[in-house]
Amino acid sequence: MQLPDNITLGAALDRAARRWGPAIGWVFENRHVSFTEMRESSDAVACALLASGIGKGDVVAILTPNLPEFAYCLMACGKIGAILAPVNTRSKTFELEHILTHSRARVLVMSDRFLQHDYVELVQDLCGVGALGADGRVDSAALPHLHLVVGISAGTRLLPWAALLDRGTRVGAAALEQAHAQLQTSEPILLQYTSGTTAMPKGALCNHVYVVNFGAEIVERLGLREGEAFFNTQPFYHVGGCCGAIPTPLATGCRMVMPEYYDAERALGLIEREKCVARTGFAAMYIMELALPRFREYDLSSLRSGWCVGPADLMARIRDEMGIPGLIQIFGATECGGSSGDIHDPWDKRSESCGRAFPGTELAIFHPESGARLAAGEVGEIVCRGWWTMNGYLRQPEENARAIDAAGWVHTGDYGHLDEQGFLYFRGRLKNMLKVGGENVSAEEVEAMLMRHPLVKMAAVVGLPDARLGEVVSAYVELHAGKSAAQSDIIAFCAARMANFRVPRRVEFIREWPITGSGKIQKHLLSAALQGPPEITHPTEENP
């Protein structure tokens, strides 16, 4: 199989525009963008950034949902060597301040508001009284590196998007070509902040080869062909959206369908409307979609393949009820790409494993304490190396030394094993490994067992401090609509099938999960709720 393109993002955009020109490559809810339009709009933004004094190595922060302007900014950075720093759309003051300060962003491109968030007010509070001047100019002691705030739709004291583009008319094509000619494919163009749950987010620097090839490698294993539609559920501030969706049409000629934000009804409606043949999704997303009262009214017959992260039982349910025969699992992190299944693999491999490493990358299992490389079948920390790895964390040498060893292996902090054929089996996060009286317990394994209960729709396992054992297993469980169960029923089900140290000692019933924008359950919030009286409940025989 051919190794990935060693090409800049800007060169990939130019090549795709020459090849597919008027064809539609991106569907942003109700806005269709051709390959030619993507190049022209992105070049206009690139010229506008150059006119604003932004060049190679400068950071451009962006705070928007899944809008075309986000894609234009990413592609523009790929032309001039600036570095895009996406900001989570759920960010509050301290999170935005951390990213703007740590990244030393010189420009912030943002929506005025999104859902219940008023970003203009947020930025004004952060900059301080009088610091945000006319036309988006910033003079703030709190943010000394930030000089300009651009509003996608004109807002109070923000430079309007149209005015930014007008600046670019003063920069000619020769200047843009000169800026692009100076770039190296090994240089970073994306500063992707990891989701911090126990510490402030770290900024992973991702280079051109990483960004260009991320999504292309996955859709190849999904069997996507030129001109076919791929549905993306991931937010652009997440690496799965910024790298796994936006650039993907450049290599494949596919049509990427992207809602402004994820919503179960919206997702199914767009899949039906655009006749998507492949899709993305985390377990929680599929479960929400399958539970919709109108689920069977949507025509999803176009779907052939897709990826998911979840237990084998759920994979089978998605395959059968949603009608996706080519369903695969994937494994990866912001710091490195890992593996994925292939639609041609046997079902047991696709449903139970995360597939094999991508061309030009390696996977291995190391002992988490000794660092020794383990043989097939032995469980330890998953490590990877190759082209699909970050350049390192921005200005965090100690974190880099912990994450990347002398041989170039990126330590993921995930737990699993490889079989003799190189298929990766994920066992959980090392930090999700509970230590119950000296025994290691994988939260994911207990969750998989809980979801075999006929009344259980979704489950999440966290540790509960215990004076004698250090910690014990505690579970949050969502039941299927209209069903009820007692805590003792769930515990007895597990006790009949698992070693006693793996059995939940406490079960809390939940109606709504704390979900990140990328569709992952926020376990740190569930853990925090256990420290006090139960606040998240579901009516049961014991808890009416």
Task: Tell me whether residue 494 is in a domain.
Answer: yes
- Residue 524 pLDDT: 79
Q: Is it the case that residue 534 has pLDDT exceeding 60?
A: no
- Residue 199 pLDDT: 53
Say which residue, 495 or 276, is predicted with more confidence.
276
Q: Is it the case that residue 538 has pLDDT exceeding 60?
A: no
Q: In the chain, what percentage of residues exceed pLDDT 90?
A: 73
Say which residue, 433 or 102, is predicted with more confidence.
102
The model's pLDDT over 87-112, given as tens digits with 9 standing for 90+, comes to 988 888 878 998 999 999 999 999 99
- Residue 544 pLDDT: 25
Q: Is it the case that residue 540 has pLDDT exceeding 70?
A: no
Write out the two tokens for 456. Answer: 């259980």
Q: Whose CA is closest to 428, among 415, 409, 446, 411?
A: 415
Task: Tell me whether residue 415 is in a domain.
Answer: no
204 beta partners: 192, 393
Over residues 306-320, the mean pLDDT reads: 92
The torsion angle over the Cα atoms of residues 352, 382, 340 and 298, rounded to 10 degrees, is: 60
Q: What sign for the dihedral angle of Cα 345, 281, 332, 66?
A: positive
206, 236, 255 — which closes off a domain? 206
- Give 525's Cβ-side CA count (13 Å radius): 12
Residue 287 phi, psi dihedral angles, 5° rounding:
-65, -40
The CATH number covering residue 25 comes to 3.40.50.12780
Distance CA 105, CA 201 (A): 15
Q: Which parts of 21-172 fold into alpha helices (H)?
A: 35-51, 68-80, 93-103, 119-127, 161-168
Task: Tell me whether residue 216 is in a domain.
Answer: no
Q: Is it the case that residue 196 has pLDDT exceeding 80?
A: no
- Residue 469 pLDDT: 79
| Beta strands in 288-359, from DSSP E residues, in sequence order | 305-308, 326-332, 337-340, 356-357
pLDDT-derived band of residue 448, with 50, 70 and 90 as boundaries? confident
* 509 neighbors 542 (Cβ within 8 angstroms): no
Letter for the amino acid at 130?
G
CA distances from 45 to 14, 237, 246, 421 (A): 15, 19, 16, 47
Could you tell me the pTM of the whole model? 0.84
Helix (H, G, I), strand (E, B) or coil at 344: coil
The CATH number covering residue 447 comes to 3.30.300.30
Q: Is it the case that residue 241 has pLDDT exceeding 50?
A: yes
206, 237, 257 — which closes off a domain? 206
Q: Tokens 């508001």 correspond to what residue?
A: 113
- Residue 443 pLDDT: 85
Distance CA 171, CA 48 (A): 8
* Residue 30 CB contacts under 8 Å (≥ 6 apart), including other chains: none
Q: What is the rounded end-to-end Cα distance, in angstroms, of the chain? A: 58
Tally the domains of the chain. Answer: 2
pLDDT-derived band of residue 200, with 50, 70 and 90 as boundaries? low
- Residue 198 pLDDT: 40
Distance CA 398, CA 201 (A): 15
Say which residue, 220 or 469, is predicted with more confidence.
220
Task: Tell me whether residue 284 is in a domain.
Answer: no
Task: Tell me whether residue 121 is in a domain.
Answer: yes
Write out the two tokens for 467. Answer: 């004076």
- Residue 444 pLDDT: 81
The model's pLDDT over 201-232, given as tens digits with 9 standing for 90+, comes to 799 999 999 999 999 999 999 999 999 999 99
* Residue 253 CB contacts under 8 Å (≥ 6 apart), including other chains: 16, 19, 20, 23, 25, 226, 227
Q: Cβ of 492: how many Cβ atoms within 10 Å?
A: 12
Over residues 182-198, the mean pLDDT reads: 84
pLDDT-derived band of residue 117, with 50, 70 and 90 as boundaries? confident
Distance CA 155, CA 165 (A): 16
Q: Which of 24-33, 89-98, 124-133 has the highest mean pLDDT?
A: 24-33
Q: What is the mean pLDDT of the chain?
A: 91
Write out the two tokens for 203. Answer: 């900024």
Task: Tell me whether residue 375 is in a domain.
Answer: no
- Give 288's Cβ-side CA count (13 Å radius): 20
pLDDT-derived band of residue 536, with 50, 70 and 90 as boundaries? very low
Q: Which of 175-179, 233-237, 533-537 has the lowest mean pLDDT?
A: 533-537
The model's pLDDT over 245-268, given as tens digits with 9 standing for 90+, comes to 999 999 999 999 999 999 999 999
Q: Whose CA is closest to 352, among 457, 475, 445?
A: 445
Q: In what order do the strands lie in the sheet with 159-160?
A: 159-160, 148-151, 107-110, 59-63, 83-86, 188-193, 203-207, 392-393
Q: In the chain, what percentage of residues exceed pLDDT 70?
A: 94
pLDDT-derived band of residue 351, with 50, 70 and 90 as boundaries? very high
Count of residues in the chain? 544
Say which residue, 232 or 413, is predicted with more confidence.
232
pLDDT-derived band of residue 490, with 50, 70 and 90 as boundaries? very high
* Residue 397 CB contacts under 8 Å (≥ 6 apart), including other chains: none
Q: Whose CA is closest to 355, among 375, 331, 373?
A: 331
Helix (H, G, I), strand (E, B) or coil at 197: coil
pLDDT-derived band of residue 133, with 50, 70 and 90 as boundaries? confident
When computed from its CA atoms, the radius of gyration of the chain, rounded to whole angstroms, is: 24
Task: Tell me whether residue 141 is in a domain.
Answer: yes
- Which domain does 475 fall in, by range? 437-530
- Residue 225 pLDDT: 95
190, 206, 222 — which closes off a domain? 206
- Residue 533 pLDDT: 43
Q: Whose CA is closest to 9, among 75, 82, 56?
A: 75
* 382 neighbors 354 (Cβ within 8 angstroms): no
Q: Which of 16-20, 198-202, 520-524 has the lowest mean pLDDT?
A: 198-202
The model's pLDDT over 166-178, given as tens digits with 9 standing for 90+, comes to 999 999 999 999 9
Q: What sign for the dihedral angle of Cα 448, 296, 271, 233?
A: negative
Q: Is it the case that residue 438 has pLDDT exceeding 80?
A: no
470 beta partners: 466
Distance CA 225, CA 182 (A): 33
Q: Which of 24-38, 107-121, 291-305, 513-527 has the lowest mean pLDDT?
A: 513-527
Over residues 119-138, the mean pLDDT reads: 89
Over residues 278-292, the mean pLDDT reads: 91
- Residue 99 pLDDT: 93
Task: Tell me whether residue 64 is in a domain.
Answer: yes
Distance CA 459, CA 525 (A): 14
The model's pLDDT over 332-344, given as tens digits with 9 standing for 90+, comes to 989 999 899 999 9
